[in-house]
A and B are shown apart, each in its own frame.
Chain A
Amino acid sequence: MKHKHILLIFGFISCLFILTGCWGKKELDELALVSAIAIDESELGYLVSVQVMVPREIASDFSDELTTVKLFSDEGESLFQTIRKLTRDLPRKSYFTHLMAIIISENIAKDNMVEILDFFLRDPEVRPDVPIFIAKDTLAQDILNVLTHIEPIPASKIKKVGLNFQTNYYGVRDTTFLNLVTSIASAGVNPAIMGLTVYGNKNEGEKNVNIQEIEAKAAIKITDFAIFKNEKLIGWLNEDESRGYSYLIGEIKNTIITIPCDKNKTQNLEITSFKNKTKLKMENGKPIINITHQINSNIAQLGCSIDKNNYQKLEKLLEKEIIKDSQHTLNVIQKKFKSDVVGFGELIHRKKPVVWKKLNQNWDDYFVNLTVNLSAEIKINRPGVVDGDVIKKILK
């Protein structure tokens, strides 16, 4: 009898395995792995383009006859509806867990980005660390229409270019869409994100020709930084201003700074560490912010000769150059955009919550006239592999 019971229970349990139907199971060949999504404006509402990876082409030894990715796009009233509408064309379910880039067109960013961000926040498939970019001077769709080499998946190139730019040149604070949402949501800071654009012949970019020759016909490149006021894009910082913005927020890991020294000649310094020491002072009940750039650098390339034993002159030059850029950007964001993208408000909020309570209501107006003092502590550590004034010796 006892054995019968055990057998019965065992039988029921085995039924569990067969009858569940494996809820949530999805075989790999039933999925369309989306590498990037681009969102543009259209008459209906949205023009959504998804770049789907073709695993067989990527995994194979680069036959170069078929493209590594395919673009599917459709128009619809809302973002999610349009994604589902793509099934008219897509044979597999679009799967967003491996999304590597979100690209939003300038127009959408100016209008209603909140709706889009809401979708990405809610969807369990999208990771919060997906890099987000704004397409400048081009449709977002066009950016996904460019084939790339080295990184066979264009979206992967976009992601890695963003990272490379950030670590070896200069960068923004809001790189991922979660950062962007946080910046939008918190008072006292406004977001700024990187812009992307396509250089070259856009029509050639989507053909394999683009990657078969040494020189690409079209290429995706990082461009200026987009400045937001709350959730809306209000303008762009140009290259120098973008760099100055990076100085202000201290988002520099390693970069090169060029200082003009003579006619068409420059001194170049490699920045090995860049830290901002930010202090908040109250004077007459008004907050004053002091930012000190603490910089370590090495000499990378000299255009003019220097005093071998005394780098102070060079240090002064560098200090002047950096403060000039920072100051210029500060002026632009205070006077032109009137948007606190650096996050001074947040600083006050954190350090002097009582003061912030008063300023909170009309921070945007107050920010325009906020006093910010800039200074820099520069240290030049090494002259590079060669010591001394090589230029002088050569010119002799």
Chain B
Amino acid sequence: MEILVCVKRVPTVGGAITLTADGQAVDTRMSGFTISPHEECAVEEAVRLVDRHGGSVTVVTLGPVEAEEQLRFCLSLGASKAVLLEACGAGEFGPIATASALASVAESGAFDLVLLGNEASDTGDYQVGIRLAHLLRQPVATGIKALSVAFDGVSGSVEAVSVEAAREYRGVSETFQLPLPAVVTVKEGINLPRYPSLPGRLRAKRASIERIPVQFAPEGLRMRTLRVPVAGQHTATVLGHGVDAVPDLVRVLGELGVLS
């Protein structure tokens, strides 16, 4: 199977998010960069599928040159090829332009499957995978937590023909059958991603990364500023210590109307 995985470079967020003075971006002077847990799971899923069924994993990102760091991280996990869509021009790429740039890479290879995260950690647009699928005219399933591949061995060479993709929604399990080639966005929980191995890290360090420049284009949804929501002035009422506070806790639960 040939699998393409799309990942995005985002700031690592710890105890609190701080913004740059102009409110245009997250302040990253004190933090590093990473990819979202969903995308880490997408890479892991791709590597497992290829380990099991053969083929190779390509990773792609649209971002600044520094995003090579995230591509090398994915290479160290078992991807074998990486493409950097180098974002040129000032401005934050929106989901329409992002999907369009990713589509150019997806179309350039014969990929059976394209995996993405369900949503990016930073912008949380919830749409790049779906837009990409429409551009490729392929079926798409999103928010997937379980994935398996069906093969057709009849024609002599064993060919991947479809995937079964499942998720839960409001206490209902939803299963989708997608003929390949297809696009699937995944969520954390689909697997437990591995840590990079030492040989993997060495291989990743030496790997060459293909670079393709992409010009920025504005979209109909434009950010003006970012802000940190103000948490209302708030102090917790301390009910006390240990089991002695249990009667008070029962009283509070009654006041909150959760005791029938």
Whether chains A and B associate is no
A contact residues vs B (CB 8 Å cutoff): none
